[in-house]
Structure 1
Amino acid sequence: MKDQQEKWLYFTILCLVWGSSFILMKKALLGVTPIQLGALRMIFTAVFLLLVAFPSLKKIKKKHYKYICYTAISGTFIPGFLFAFAITNIDSSIVAILNSLTPFNTLIFGALIFGFAFKRRQLYGILVGLVGTLLLILKGADLNPNQNYWYAVFIIIGSVGYALNANMIKKYLNDLNALSIVTGNFLLLLVPAIIVLSCTDFFSTFDLKNEVFVQSLGYIAILSIVGTSIAKTIYNKLVHISDPVFSSSVTYVIPLVAVFWGVLDGEKLSLLQIIGGLIILLGVYLVNKKKK
Protein backbone atom coordinates (compact mmCIF):
# COMPACT_ATOMS: atom_id res chain seq x y z
CA MET A 1 0.00 0.00 0.00
CA LYS A 2 1.35 3.43 -0.94
CA ASP A 3 2.18 5.83 1.88
CA GLN A 4 -0.55 8.23 0.77
CA GLN A 5 -3.25 5.55 0.98
CA GLU A 6 -1.78 4.11 4.16
CA LYS A 7 -1.73 7.40 6.02
CA TRP A 8 -5.36 8.15 5.13
CA LEU A 9 -6.35 4.70 6.34
CA TYR A 10 -4.57 5.31 9.67
CA PHE A 11 -6.10 8.79 9.83
CA THR A 12 -9.63 7.41 9.39
CA ILE A 13 -9.14 4.66 11.98
CA LEU A 14 -7.86 7.17 14.54
CA CYS A 15 -10.79 9.50 13.92
CA LEU A 16 -13.28 6.71 14.59
CA VAL A 17 -11.46 5.25 17.60
CA TRP A 18 -10.47 8.48 19.36
CA GLY A 19 -13.77 10.14 18.47
CA SER A 20 -15.49 7.34 20.37
CA SER A 21 -13.14 7.60 23.35
CA PHE A 22 -14.79 10.67 24.84
CA ILE A 23 -18.19 9.06 25.31
CA LEU A 24 -16.46 6.00 26.79
CA MET A 25 -14.69 8.25 29.31
CA LYS A 26 -17.99 9.92 30.15
CA LYS A 27 -19.59 6.52 30.81
CA ALA A 28 -16.58 5.25 32.78
CA LEU A 29 -16.77 8.27 35.09
CA LEU A 30 -20.16 7.09 36.35
CA GLY A 31 -18.34 4.50 38.48
CA VAL A 32 -14.85 5.89 39.11
CA THR A 33 -13.27 9.28 39.82
CA PRO A 34 -11.26 11.24 37.20
CA ILE A 35 -7.96 10.36 38.89
CA GLN A 36 -8.91 6.68 39.02
CA LEU A 37 -9.92 6.76 35.36
CA GLY A 38 -6.59 8.26 34.31
CA ALA A 39 -4.54 5.83 36.41
CA LEU A 40 -6.54 2.72 35.51
CA ARG A 41 -6.36 3.52 31.81
CA MET A 42 -2.57 3.65 32.02
CA ILE A 43 -2.34 0.47 34.11
CA PHE A 44 -4.64 -1.54 31.83
CA THR A 45 -2.78 -0.31 28.75
CA ALA A 46 0.64 -1.09 30.23
CA VAL A 47 -0.36 -4.62 31.24
CA PHE A 48 -1.87 -5.31 27.81
CA LEU A 49 1.18 -4.01 25.94
CA LEU A 50 3.67 -5.84 28.13
CA LEU A 51 1.76 -9.08 27.52
CA VAL A 52 1.51 -8.77 23.74
CA ALA A 53 4.43 -6.54 22.77
CA PHE A 54 7.19 -7.09 25.35
CA PRO A 55 9.75 -8.17 22.67
CA SER A 56 9.43 -4.73 21.03
CA LEU A 57 11.28 -3.22 24.02
CA LYS A 58 14.49 -4.83 22.77
CA LYS A 59 14.58 -2.34 19.90
CA ILE A 60 14.76 0.62 22.28
CA LYS A 61 18.32 1.87 22.68
CA LYS A 62 19.77 3.82 25.58
CA LYS A 63 19.64 7.08 23.59
CA HIS A 64 15.89 6.66 23.11
CA TYR A 65 14.78 6.37 26.73
CA LYS A 66 15.06 10.08 27.53
CA TYR A 67 12.60 10.91 24.78
CA ILE A 68 10.45 7.87 25.56
CA CYS A 69 10.07 9.38 29.04
CA TYR A 70 9.32 12.88 27.70
CA THR A 71 6.66 11.61 25.30
CA ALA A 72 5.11 9.42 28.00
CA ILE A 73 4.67 12.43 30.29
CA SER A 74 3.55 14.98 27.67
CA GLY A 75 1.52 12.69 25.43
CA THR A 76 -0.14 10.38 27.97
CA PHE A 77 0.35 11.00 31.69
CA ILE A 78 -0.62 14.68 31.96
CA PRO A 79 -3.40 14.70 29.30
CA GLY A 80 -4.85 11.46 30.68
CA PHE A 81 -5.80 13.13 33.97
CA LEU A 82 -6.66 16.55 32.54
CA PHE A 83 -9.17 15.15 30.05
CA ALA A 84 -10.81 12.99 32.71
CA PHE A 85 -11.37 16.04 34.93
CA ALA A 86 -12.63 18.16 32.02
CA ILE A 87 -15.28 15.62 31.00
CA THR A 88 -16.81 15.81 34.50
CA ASN A 89 -17.70 19.45 33.82
CA ILE A 90 -18.06 19.80 30.04
CA ASP A 91 -19.93 17.65 27.50
CA SER A 92 -17.75 14.94 25.99
CA SER A 93 -18.37 16.32 22.49
CA ILE A 94 -17.19 19.80 23.54
CA VAL A 95 -14.02 18.34 25.08
CA ALA A 96 -13.29 16.64 21.76
CA ILE A 97 -13.87 19.93 19.95
CA LEU A 98 -11.49 21.82 22.24
CA ASN A 99 -8.88 19.15 21.58
CA SER A 100 -8.87 20.42 17.98
CA LEU A 101 -6.34 23.03 19.12
CA THR A 102 -3.69 20.29 18.91
CA PRO A 103 -2.75 20.81 15.21
CA PHE A 104 -2.30 24.54 15.77
CA ASN A 105 -0.06 23.91 18.78
CA THR A 106 1.83 21.25 16.85
CA LEU A 107 2.57 23.70 14.06
CA ILE A 108 3.61 26.52 16.41
CA PHE A 109 5.78 24.43 18.75
CA GLY A 110 7.23 22.49 15.83
CA ALA A 111 8.45 25.72 14.25
CA LEU A 112 9.52 27.56 17.42
CA ILE A 113 11.12 24.72 19.41
CA PHE A 114 11.90 21.84 17.05
CA GLY A 115 12.87 23.75 13.92
CA PHE A 116 10.32 22.10 11.61
CA ALA A 117 9.40 24.03 8.49
CA PHE A 118 5.80 24.28 7.40
CA LYS A 119 4.04 25.30 4.19
CA ARG A 120 1.87 28.38 4.00
CA ARG A 121 -0.99 26.14 2.87
CA GLN A 122 -0.74 24.14 6.10
CA LEU A 123 -1.06 27.33 8.13
CA TYR A 124 -4.15 28.30 6.14
CA GLY A 125 -5.61 24.84 6.75
CA ILE A 126 -4.95 25.11 10.49
CA LEU A 127 -6.58 28.56 10.64
CA VAL A 128 -9.64 27.36 8.68
CA GLY A 129 -9.92 24.43 11.09
CA LEU A 130 -9.74 26.80 14.04
CA VAL A 131 -12.62 28.86 12.62
CA GLY A 132 -14.73 25.70 12.50
CA THR A 133 -13.66 24.84 16.03
CA LEU A 134 -14.57 28.34 17.27
CA LEU A 135 -18.06 28.02 15.79
CA LEU A 136 -18.54 24.69 17.55
CA ILE A 137 -17.32 26.05 20.90
CA LEU A 138 -19.39 29.25 20.84
CA LYS A 139 -22.58 27.45 19.90
CA GLY A 140 -21.83 24.72 22.43
CA ALA A 141 -21.49 27.34 25.17
CA ASP A 142 -24.77 28.88 24.08
CA LEU A 143 -26.57 25.53 24.19
CA ASN A 144 -25.00 24.56 27.54
CA PRO A 145 -24.82 27.76 29.66
CA ASN A 146 -24.60 25.83 32.93
CA GLN A 147 -21.35 24.07 32.12
CA ASN A 148 -18.05 25.27 33.59
CA TYR A 149 -15.95 26.32 30.61
CA TRP A 150 -12.98 27.16 32.85
CA TYR A 151 -12.18 23.47 32.51
CA ALA A 152 -11.38 24.23 28.87
CA VAL A 153 -7.96 25.30 30.18
CA PHE A 154 -7.27 21.65 31.04
CA ILE A 155 -7.91 20.66 27.43
CA ILE A 156 -5.69 23.45 26.11
CA ILE A 157 -2.83 22.28 28.34
CA GLY A 158 -3.45 18.70 27.24
CA SER A 159 -3.35 19.73 23.57
CA VAL A 160 0.05 21.37 24.14
CA GLY A 161 1.25 18.05 25.59
CA TYR A 162 0.00 16.20 22.50
CA ALA A 163 1.75 18.76 20.28
CA LEU A 164 5.08 18.31 22.07
CA ASN A 165 4.64 14.54 21.89
CA ALA A 166 4.10 14.51 18.10
CA ASN A 167 7.09 16.75 17.42
CA MET A 168 9.42 14.76 19.70
CA ILE A 169 8.43 11.48 18.05
CA LYS A 170 9.13 12.90 14.59
CA LYS A 171 12.45 14.52 15.51
CA TYR A 172 14.00 12.21 18.10
CA LEU A 173 12.28 8.82 17.75
CA ASN A 174 11.84 8.56 13.99
CA ASP A 175 14.29 5.63 13.85
CA LEU A 176 12.24 3.61 16.35
CA ASN A 177 9.12 1.68 15.37
CA ALA A 178 5.73 2.82 16.62
CA LEU A 179 4.98 -0.23 18.80
CA SER A 180 8.29 0.06 20.64
CA ILE A 181 7.59 3.72 21.45
CA VAL A 182 4.14 3.01 22.86
CA THR A 183 5.26 -0.03 24.85
CA GLY A 184 8.21 1.94 26.24
CA ASN A 185 5.91 4.81 27.20
CA PHE A 186 3.61 2.62 29.26
CA LEU A 187 6.41 0.60 30.81
CA LEU A 188 7.64 3.87 32.33
CA LEU A 189 4.12 4.92 33.34
CA LEU A 190 3.07 1.68 35.03
CA VAL A 191 4.59 2.31 38.47
CA PRO A 192 3.60 6.02 38.67
CA ALA A 193 0.02 5.09 37.68
CA ILE A 194 -0.15 2.41 40.39
CA ILE A 195 1.13 4.91 42.97
CA VAL A 196 -1.49 7.49 41.91
CA LEU A 197 -4.28 4.87 42.04
CA SER A 198 -3.18 3.71 45.51
CA CYS A 199 -3.53 7.28 46.77
CA THR A 200 -7.27 7.17 46.01
CA ASP A 201 -9.96 5.06 47.71
CA PHE A 202 -10.12 2.65 44.74
CA PHE A 203 -8.95 -0.45 46.60
CA SER A 204 -11.04 0.20 49.71
CA THR A 205 -14.22 0.73 47.67
CA PHE A 206 -13.53 -2.02 45.10
CA ASP A 207 -16.80 -3.91 44.65
CA LEU A 208 -17.46 -6.32 41.78
CA LYS A 209 -21.09 -6.60 42.93
CA ASN A 210 -21.60 -2.95 41.99
CA GLU A 211 -22.94 -3.06 38.41
CA VAL A 212 -22.05 0.55 37.61
CA PHE A 213 -18.48 0.01 38.88
CA VAL A 214 -18.06 -3.16 36.79
CA GLN A 215 -19.40 -1.40 33.69
CA SER A 216 -16.93 1.41 34.28
CA LEU A 217 -14.06 -1.08 34.37
CA GLY A 218 -15.34 -2.52 31.09
CA TYR A 219 -15.36 0.91 29.44
CA ILE A 220 -11.85 1.57 30.75
CA ALA A 221 -10.66 -1.78 29.35
CA ILE A 222 -11.97 -0.85 25.90
CA LEU A 223 -10.40 2.61 26.19
CA SER A 224 -7.07 1.07 27.20
CA ILE A 225 -6.79 -1.70 24.62
CA VAL A 226 -8.38 -0.05 21.59
CA GLY A 227 -8.33 3.67 22.34
CA THR A 228 -4.82 3.77 23.79
CA SER A 229 -2.68 0.69 23.01
CA ILE A 230 -3.71 0.14 19.41
CA ALA A 231 -4.57 3.75 18.56
CA LYS A 232 -1.34 5.24 19.91
CA THR A 233 0.68 2.67 17.94
CA ILE A 234 -1.20 3.65 14.78
CA TYR A 235 -0.68 7.34 15.59
CA ASN A 236 3.07 6.96 16.02
CA LYS A 237 3.20 5.09 12.71
CA LEU A 238 1.24 7.92 11.10
CA VAL A 239 3.75 10.48 12.41
CA HIS A 240 6.55 8.41 10.91
CA ILE A 241 5.07 8.18 7.40
CA SER A 242 3.63 11.73 7.25
CA ASP A 243 4.43 14.72 9.48
CA PRO A 244 3.40 16.00 12.93
CA VAL A 245 0.98 18.63 11.61
CA PHE A 246 -0.98 16.22 9.41
CA SER A 247 -0.98 13.56 12.12
CA SER A 248 -2.29 15.94 14.78
CA SER A 249 -4.97 17.23 12.39
CA VAL A 250 -6.83 14.02 13.24
CA THR A 251 -8.11 16.02 16.21
CA TYR A 252 -10.07 18.21 13.80
CA VAL A 253 -12.20 15.26 12.66
CA ILE A 254 -12.47 13.54 16.06
CA PRO A 255 -15.17 16.05 17.18
CA LEU A 256 -17.45 14.96 14.34
CA VAL A 257 -17.44 11.41 15.70
CA ALA A 258 -17.61 12.60 19.32
CA VAL A 259 -20.57 14.88 18.58
CA PHE A 260 -22.39 11.98 16.90
CA TRP A 261 -22.02 9.84 20.04
CA GLY A 262 -22.88 12.82 22.23
CA VAL A 263 -26.15 13.42 20.37
CA LEU A 264 -27.07 9.75 20.77
CA ASP A 265 -26.42 10.20 24.51
CA GLY A 266 -28.68 13.24 24.74
CA GLU A 267 -26.17 16.04 24.20
CA LYS A 268 -27.38 18.96 22.04
CA LEU A 269 -26.27 19.76 18.48
CA SER A 270 -27.22 22.72 16.27
CA LEU A 271 -27.07 23.45 12.53
CA LEU A 272 -24.25 25.93 13.17
CA GLN A 273 -22.20 23.15 14.80
CA ILE A 274 -22.74 20.98 11.72
CA ILE A 275 -21.48 23.86 9.54
CA GLY A 276 -18.48 24.21 11.86
CA GLY A 277 -17.76 20.51 11.39
CA LEU A 278 -17.75 20.90 7.59
CA ILE A 279 -15.34 23.84 7.90
CA ILE A 280 -13.08 21.64 10.02
CA LEU A 281 -13.01 19.02 7.26
CA LEU A 282 -12.03 21.73 4.78
CA GLY A 283 -9.14 22.69 7.06
CA VAL A 284 -7.88 19.09 7.18
CA TYR A 285 -8.05 18.93 3.38
CA LEU A 286 -5.97 22.10 3.04
CA VAL A 287 -3.37 20.83 5.51
CA ASN A 288 -2.71 17.76 3.35
CA LYS A 289 -3.51 19.06 -0.15
CA LYS A 290 -0.63 18.39 -2.51
CA LYS A 291 0.50 21.28 -4.65
CA LYS A 292 0.00 20.55 -8.37
Structure 2
Amino acid sequence: MSASSSRISTAMRRRALAAAAAAVLATALAACGSSGSGGHGAMPGTHHGAMPSATGAAAATATATATATSGMPGMGATAGGDGLSDHADGYRLTSAATTLPAGTPAPYRFTVAGPDGRPVTAFRVDQTKRLHFYAIRSDLTGFQHLHPVMAQDGTWTARPAALAPGSWRMFAAFTPAAGPGAGTAFVLSRPVTVPGAATATPLPAASSTATADGYTVTVKGDLMAGMEHPLTVHLATSKDGRPVTGLQPYLDSYAHLTAFHEGDAAFAHLHPTTAADGGHGGPDLSFHAELPKPGNWRMFLQFRAAGALHTAALTLRVS
Protein backbone atom coordinates (compact mmCIF):
# COMPACT_ATOMS: atom_id res chain seq x y z
CA MET A 1 0.00 0.00 0.00
CA SER A 2 1.34 3.44 -0.88
CA ALA A 3 1.98 6.07 1.80
CA SER A 4 -0.84 8.18 0.30
CA SER A 5 -3.31 5.28 0.43
CA SER A 6 -2.30 4.51 3.99
CA ARG A 7 -2.94 8.10 4.98
CA ILE A 8 -6.38 8.11 3.35
CA SER A 9 -7.30 4.80 5.02
CA THR A 10 -6.19 6.05 8.42
CA ALA A 11 -8.05 9.33 7.94
CA MET A 12 -11.27 7.45 7.09
CA ARG A 13 -10.94 5.33 10.23
CA ARG A 14 -10.39 8.44 12.34
CA ARG A 15 -13.45 10.17 10.89
CA ALA A 16 -15.59 7.09 11.46
CA LEU A 17 -14.42 6.81 15.06
CA ALA A 18 -15.03 10.52 15.64
CA ALA A 19 -18.55 10.26 14.20
CA ALA A 20 -19.37 7.26 16.38
CA ALA A 21 -18.00 8.95 19.49
CA ALA A 22 -19.92 12.12 18.71
CA ALA A 23 -23.15 10.16 18.31
CA VAL A 24 -22.70 8.42 21.66
CA LEU A 25 -21.85 11.70 23.37
CA ALA A 26 -24.83 13.46 21.82
CA THR A 27 -27.16 10.74 23.10
CA ALA A 28 -25.74 11.01 26.59
CA LEU A 29 -26.02 14.79 26.60
CA ALA A 30 -29.61 14.65 25.46
CA ALA A 31 -30.47 12.20 28.20
CA CYS A 32 -28.88 13.87 31.20
CA GLY A 33 -27.13 17.07 30.09
CA SER A 34 -23.52 17.96 30.80
CA SER A 35 -21.08 20.84 30.52
CA GLY A 36 -17.34 20.81 29.80
CA SER A 37 -14.73 23.29 30.85
CA GLY A 38 -11.49 23.54 29.67
CA GLY A 39 2.45 23.09 34.23
CA HIS A 40 4.95 21.49 34.88
CA GLY A 41 5.09 17.80 35.78
CA ALA A 42 7.00 16.82 38.91
CA MET A 43 8.78 14.02 37.06
CA PRO A 44 12.44 14.95 36.43
CA GLY A 45 13.17 15.87 32.84
CA THR A 46 9.56 16.50 31.87
CA HIS A 47 8.06 19.84 30.96
CA HIS A 48 4.87 21.28 29.58
CA GLY A 49 4.71 24.86 28.36
CA ALA A 50 1.32 26.58 28.24
CA MET A 51 2.37 29.41 25.95
CA PRO A 52 0.12 31.83 24.04
CA SER A 53 -0.56 31.37 20.34
CA ALA A 54 0.40 33.79 17.58
CA THR A 55 -0.64 37.41 17.77
CA GLY A 56 -2.09 39.78 15.20
CA ALA A 57 -4.71 39.58 12.47
CA ALA A 58 -3.12 36.58 10.76
CA ALA A 59 -3.25 34.56 13.98
CA ALA A 60 -6.86 35.57 14.65
CA THR A 61 -7.89 34.45 11.17
CA ALA A 62 -6.00 31.17 11.52
CA THR A 63 -7.52 30.45 14.91
CA ALA A 64 -11.05 31.15 13.68
CA THR A 65 -10.55 28.87 10.71
CA ALA A 66 -9.04 26.16 12.90
CA THR A 67 -11.82 26.29 15.47
CA ALA A 68 -14.47 26.03 12.80
CA THR A 69 -12.91 22.84 11.44
CA SER A 70 -11.88 21.14 14.66
CA GLY A 71 -13.57 17.94 15.80
CA MET A 72 -13.32 15.67 18.79
CA PRO A 73 -10.00 16.20 20.61
CA GLY A 74 -7.20 14.23 18.98
CA MET A 75 -9.43 12.65 16.33
CA GLY A 76 -8.48 14.57 13.18
CA ALA A 77 -7.34 12.92 9.96
CA THR A 78 -3.79 11.64 10.43
CA ALA A 79 -0.89 11.65 7.99
CA GLY A 80 0.41 8.34 9.27
CA GLY A 81 4.11 7.54 9.45
CA ASP A 82 6.33 7.66 12.50
CA GLY A 83 7.37 11.30 12.56
CA LEU A 84 11.04 10.54 11.87
CA SER A 85 11.21 12.64 8.69
CA ASP A 86 11.35 16.43 8.37
CA HIS A 87 9.06 16.36 5.32
CA ALA A 88 5.83 14.76 4.12
CA ASP A 89 3.43 15.48 1.23
CA GLY A 90 5.18 18.75 0.40
CA TYR A 91 5.30 20.04 4.00
CA ARG A 92 8.69 20.52 5.60
CA LEU A 93 9.94 21.32 9.09
CA THR A 94 12.86 23.73 8.81
CA SER A 95 15.24 25.12 11.40
CA ALA A 96 18.70 26.66 11.37
CA ALA A 97 19.44 25.06 14.75
CA THR A 98 21.37 21.79 14.71
CA THR A 99 22.75 22.13 18.26
CA LEU A 100 21.47 23.49 21.56
CA PRO A 101 23.56 24.18 24.67
CA ALA A 102 23.63 21.73 27.57
CA GLY A 103 22.37 22.57 31.01
CA THR A 104 20.75 25.90 30.21
CA PRO A 105 17.43 26.80 28.57
CA ALA A 106 17.72 27.99 24.98
CA PRO A 107 15.05 28.80 22.37
CA TYR A 108 14.49 26.52 19.40
CA ARG A 109 13.10 28.34 16.35
CA PHE A 110 11.54 26.63 13.37
CA THR A 111 9.00 27.01 10.59
CA VAL A 112 6.58 24.71 8.82
CA ALA A 113 6.87 25.28 5.08
CA GLY A 114 3.99 24.30 2.82
CA PRO A 115 4.09 22.73 -0.66
CA ASP A 116 4.57 26.22 -2.11
CA GLY A 117 7.71 26.70 -0.01
CA ARG A 118 6.18 29.49 2.08
CA PRO A 119 5.75 29.30 5.89
CA VAL A 120 2.35 28.00 6.93
CA THR A 121 0.46 30.37 9.25
CA ALA A 122 -3.05 28.84 9.31
CA PHE A 123 -3.35 25.81 11.55
CA ARG A 124 -6.30 23.80 12.80
CA VAL A 125 -6.79 23.55 16.55
CA ASP A 126 -6.12 20.08 17.99
CA GLN A 127 -6.66 19.58 21.71
CA THR A 128 -6.88 23.37 22.19
CA LYS A 129 -3.52 24.06 20.49
CA ARG A 130 -2.47 24.83 16.92
CA LEU A 131 0.87 23.05 17.26
CA HIS A 132 2.26 20.54 19.74
CA PHE A 133 6.04 20.39 20.15
CA TYR A 134 7.95 17.49 21.72
CA ALA A 135 11.59 17.01 22.65
CA ILE A 136 12.94 13.55 23.45
CA ARG A 137 16.49 12.25 23.92
CA SER A 138 17.62 9.16 22.00
CA ASP A 139 17.42 7.00 25.15
CA LEU A 140 13.80 8.21 25.59
CA THR A 141 14.57 10.37 28.63
CA GLY A 142 14.08 14.09 29.06
CA PHE A 143 10.58 14.15 27.56
CA GLN A 144 9.17 17.65 27.08
CA HIS A 145 5.79 18.62 25.63
CA LEU A 146 5.53 22.31 24.77
CA HIS A 147 3.22 24.73 23.00
CA PRO A 148 5.42 27.30 21.28
CA VAL A 149 4.62 30.81 20.09
CA MET A 150 4.20 31.59 16.40
CA ALA A 151 5.13 34.99 14.98
CA GLN A 152 3.12 36.54 12.16
CA ASP A 153 5.72 35.43 9.61
CA GLY A 154 5.19 31.76 10.56
CA THR A 155 8.30 31.38 12.73
CA TRP A 156 7.66 29.30 15.84
CA THR A 157 9.73 29.61 19.01
CA ALA A 158 9.82 26.73 21.49
CA ARG A 159 11.55 27.19 24.82
CA PRO A 160 12.50 23.79 26.17
CA ALA A 161 13.88 23.43 29.67
CA ALA A 162 17.61 22.73 30.01
CA LEU A 163 18.67 19.70 27.97
CA ALA A 164 21.17 17.03 28.98
CA PRO A 165 24.04 16.22 26.58
CA GLY A 166 23.20 13.72 23.87
CA SER A 167 21.21 13.26 20.69
CA TRP A 168 17.72 14.74 20.73
CA ARG A 169 14.83 14.84 18.30
CA MET A 170 12.40 17.77 18.05
CA PHE A 171 8.88 16.92 16.86
CA ALA A 172 6.18 19.27 15.59
CA ALA A 173 2.60 17.94 15.37
CA PHE A 174 0.19 20.14 13.42
CA THR A 175 -2.77 20.20 11.04
CA PRO A 176 -2.89 22.80 8.25
CA ALA A 177 -6.18 24.70 8.12
CA ALA A 178 -5.87 25.58 4.43
CA GLY A 179 -4.08 24.43 1.29
CA PRO A 180 -3.56 20.91 -0.11
CA GLY A 181 -2.96 19.41 3.34
CA ALA A 182 -5.95 21.02 5.06
CA GLY A 183 -7.43 18.74 7.73
CA THR A 184 -4.54 16.26 7.69
CA ALA A 185 -2.47 15.87 10.85
CA PHE A 186 1.29 15.84 10.27
CA VAL A 187 4.15 14.95 12.60
CA LEU A 188 7.59 16.05 11.41
CA SER A 189 10.89 16.12 13.27
CA ARG A 190 14.52 17.18 13.14
CA PRO A 191 17.55 15.97 15.12
CA VAL A 192 19.44 18.23 17.50
CA THR A 193 22.77 17.60 19.21
CA VAL A 194 23.45 18.82 22.73
CA PRO A 195 27.26 18.81 23.16
CA GLY A 196 28.91 17.24 26.18
CA ALA A 197 29.56 13.87 27.77
CA ALA A 198 26.36 11.87 27.30
CA THR A 199 25.46 8.92 29.49
CA ALA A 200 22.66 6.72 28.18
CA THR A 201 19.93 5.65 30.61
CA PRO A 202 18.69 2.06 30.11
CA LEU A 203 15.04 1.84 29.18
CA PRO A 204 12.99 0.56 32.13
CA ALA A 205 11.53 -2.92 31.66
CA ALA A 206 8.07 -3.29 30.17
CA SER A 207 5.37 -2.93 32.79
CA SER A 208 1.67 -2.14 32.81
CA THR A 209 1.97 0.10 35.88
CA ALA A 210 3.90 3.20 36.88
CA THR A 211 3.83 5.71 39.71
CA ALA A 212 4.23 9.48 39.62
CA ASP A 213 3.60 12.19 42.21
CA GLY A 214 1.57 9.91 44.48
CA TYR A 215 -0.53 8.39 41.68
CA THR A 216 -0.45 4.87 40.24
CA VAL A 217 -1.20 4.44 36.54
CA THR A 218 -2.26 1.05 35.18
CA VAL A 219 -2.57 0.42 31.45
CA LYS A 220 -4.80 -2.34 30.07
CA GLY A 221 -4.84 -3.51 26.48
CA ASP A 222 -2.99 -5.92 24.18
CA LEU A 223 -1.28 -3.95 21.43
CA MET A 224 -0.25 -5.21 18.00
CA ALA A 225 1.82 -3.13 15.61
CA GLY A 226 -0.03 -1.47 12.75
CA MET A 227 -3.50 -2.19 14.15
CA GLU A 228 -5.93 -0.04 16.11
CA HIS A 229 -6.66 -1.30 19.61
CA PRO A 230 -8.57 0.13 22.56
CA LEU A 231 -6.40 1.07 25.52
CA THR A 232 -7.65 1.80 29.04
CA VAL A 233 -5.73 3.78 31.65
CA HIS A 234 -6.73 3.43 35.30
CA LEU A 235 -5.58 5.99 37.86
CA ALA A 236 -5.46 5.41 41.61
CA THR A 237 -3.69 6.94 44.57
CA SER A 238 -0.37 5.26 45.36
CA LYS A 239 -0.89 5.50 49.12
CA ASP A 240 -4.10 3.48 49.45
CA GLY A 241 -5.12 2.48 45.93
CA ARG A 242 -8.27 4.58 45.92
CA PRO A 243 -9.62 5.33 42.41
CA VAL A 244 -8.96 8.88 41.26
CA THR A 245 -12.21 10.60 40.27
CA GLY A 246 -11.20 14.25 40.35
CA LEU A 247 -9.17 14.61 37.16
CA GLN A 248 -9.39 18.07 35.64
CA PRO A 249 -9.44 18.80 31.89
CA TYR A 250 -6.05 19.07 30.23
CA LEU A 251 -5.92 20.04 26.55
CA ASP A 252 -9.67 19.45 26.25
CA SER A 253 -9.45 15.88 27.56
CA TYR A 254 -8.60 14.16 30.83
CA ALA A 255 -5.16 12.95 29.74
CA HIS A 256 -2.62 13.27 26.95
CA LEU A 257 -0.75 10.11 25.94
CA THR A 258 2.36 10.13 23.75
CA ALA A 259 4.65 7.22 22.86
CA PHE A 260 8.20 6.88 21.49
CA HIS A 261 9.76 3.71 20.09
CA GLU A 262 12.93 2.26 21.58
CA GLY A 263 15.89 2.50 19.20
CA ASP A 264 14.70 5.15 16.75
CA ALA A 265 12.35 7.38 18.81
CA ALA A 266 9.48 6.91 16.36
CA PHE A 267 6.49 8.97 17.50
CA ALA A 268 2.87 8.07 18.19
CA HIS A 269 0.03 10.05 19.76
CA LEU A 270 -2.68 7.89 21.31
CA HIS A 271 -6.04 9.55 20.80
CA PRO A 272 -8.35 10.04 23.79
CA THR A 273 -11.98 8.95 23.46
CA THR A 274 -13.18 9.87 26.95
CA ALA A 275 -14.91 13.25 26.68
CA ALA A 276 -13.92 15.84 29.31
CA ASP A 277 -16.88 16.96 31.43
CA GLY A 278 -15.76 19.23 34.24
CA GLY A 279 -13.32 18.41 37.02
CA HIS A 280 -14.41 14.89 37.85
CA GLY A 281 -12.64 12.65 35.37
CA GLY A 282 -11.35 9.17 36.09
CA PRO A 283 -10.58 6.66 37.28
CA ASP A 284 -10.71 5.00 33.83
CA LEU A 285 -9.73 6.75 30.60
CA SER A 286 -10.03 5.30 27.10
CA PHE A 287 -7.70 5.75 24.14
CA HIS A 288 -7.40 4.52 20.57
CA ALA A 289 -3.90 3.13 20.13
CA GLU A 290 -2.26 2.50 16.76
CA LEU A 291 1.49 1.99 17.07
CA PRO A 292 3.26 1.53 13.72
CA LYS A 293 5.95 -1.00 14.68
CA PRO A 294 6.64 -3.76 17.21
CA GLY A 295 9.01 -3.49 20.14
CA ASN A 296 9.21 -1.45 23.31
CA TRP A 297 7.44 1.90 23.44
CA ARG A 298 7.95 4.49 26.16
CA MET A 299 4.59 6.00 27.10
CA PHE A 300 4.20 9.45 28.65
CA LEU A 301 0.80 10.09 30.24
CA GLN A 302 0.07 13.68 31.23
CA PHE A 303 -2.93 14.44 33.41
CA ARG A 304 -4.13 17.24 35.69
CA ALA A 305 -5.16 16.51 39.26
CA ALA A 306 -5.33 18.65 42.40
CA GLY A 307 -4.53 21.70 40.29
CA ALA A 308 -1.17 20.40 39.01
CA LEU A 309 0.03 18.73 35.81
CA HIS A 310 1.58 15.29 36.35
CA THR A 311 3.57 13.07 33.99
CA ALA A 312 3.79 9.30 34.38
CA ALA A 313 6.11 7.23 32.17
CA LEU A 314 6.06 3.50 31.54
CA THR A 315 7.33 1.01 28.97
CA LEU A 316 4.88 -1.14 27.00
CA ARG A 317 5.75 -4.07 24.75
CA VAL A 318 4.03 -4.11 21.36
CA SER A 319 3.91 -7.41 19.46
TM-score range, shorter chain: under 0.3
More helix by share: 1
Which one has the bigger strand percentage? 2
For normalisation by structure 2, the TM-score amounts to 0.24
Higher relative contact order (CA 8 A, sep 6+): 1
TM-score by length of 1: 0.26
